[in-house]
Amino acid sequence: MKKILIGLASIVVIIVVVLYFTSKPKLEADGSYSPSSLALTLGTVSKTDFEDITYTKYQGDKSKILVIFTEQKNLKMKNGKFFSTGNHPIEALVPMLHLKNAGFDFEIVTPTGKPVVFEMWAFPQEDENVKAIYNEYKSSFEHPKKLADFINTSLNDANSYAAVFIPGGHGAMIGIPNDKNVGKVLNWAHQSDLFTITLCHGPGSLLATTLDNQKFIYEGYKMCVFPDAIDEITPMIGYLPGKMTHGVSEHLKSLGVKLANSEADDSVYRDRKLITGASPLASNELGKLAANTLLKELK
């Protein structure tokens, strides 16, 4: 019996040691932290669940979709450490695949025209469809347009656009919700009866419509958002290097948003012209919902 107990204790010690080292966030060259090996094992995939659907392609004039990406990489935590983030590649590229297959094209912008930042540690390296669309738009990701230039040249051209798409990833919380130009574009889309598509942490961008004491235009809407409760526990496995300084879902809820999900799952929801998804797991479902909705509504 004693030998059995000693053996069990040894196994427990080994498990604790392994968890300790595999759950430590990885220090990057710029001093930020990317997810631990344990978090990457649990929270990323090498191939997505993308469904290569043959849509009846859209043939009308409203064929463009404005995609607002973050150009920011490092998100500060409560403990002062920085999370190495950006846009989640699956959350951006899988919906884009569906929308492209449905006949839509993309205008890629960042707030100041700096290159798009992706969470490359989450890139699905064995997914040929995702790699193909990434390579197709790589030049646009590296040399996007400035959001201000879009505002100066295209706000009078709503008839050429079907939607505004803001992908998620924690990077969508850096600057985007506080960017007055993002607020202008979202108000433009809302007033022009265009669709707005976003998922995971991307709905935090909707807060930009409250800047300068403006009324929140999505008050009373029901939407899917990444739950703050999940962000609270991910530091335990080393996904985040600390706790967030603020969340998204509860802030939106305090402004009158009705949450359509409680888990970080594949939930998607449409309320009027707003289409949202809960997490990276919702990327494929969001793409299908967005593509089918646009094809139906833009006939």
Q: Which residues of 271-288 are buried (b: 16+ CB within 10 A; e: fewer)?
A: bebbbbbbbbbbbbbbbb
Q: Under 8 Å CB-to-CB from 11, ≥6 apart: which residues?
A: none
Choosing from 164, 176, 194, 200, which is the catalytic residue? Answer: 200
CA angle in degrees (0–180, nearest 5) for 125-67-104: 85
**Separation between Cα atoms, residue 65 and residue 106, nearest integer Å:** 5
Total count of residues recorded for the chain: 299
165 three-state secondary structure: strand
What is the C-alpha to C-alpha distance for residues 141 and 172, in angstroms, rounded to an integer?
A: 15
**Is 200 a residue of the active site?**
yes
At 25, is the secondary structure helix, strand, or coil?
coil
Contact (CB, 8 A) for 168 and 227: no
Tokens of 211: 């800047």
φ, ψ of residue 31 in degrees (nearest 5): 95, -5
E strand or H helix at 38: helix 37-43
| Contact predicate 207/237, CB 8 Å | no
Q: Are the beta carbons of 166 and 68 closer than 8 angstroms?
A: yes
Hey, which residues are catalytic here? 200
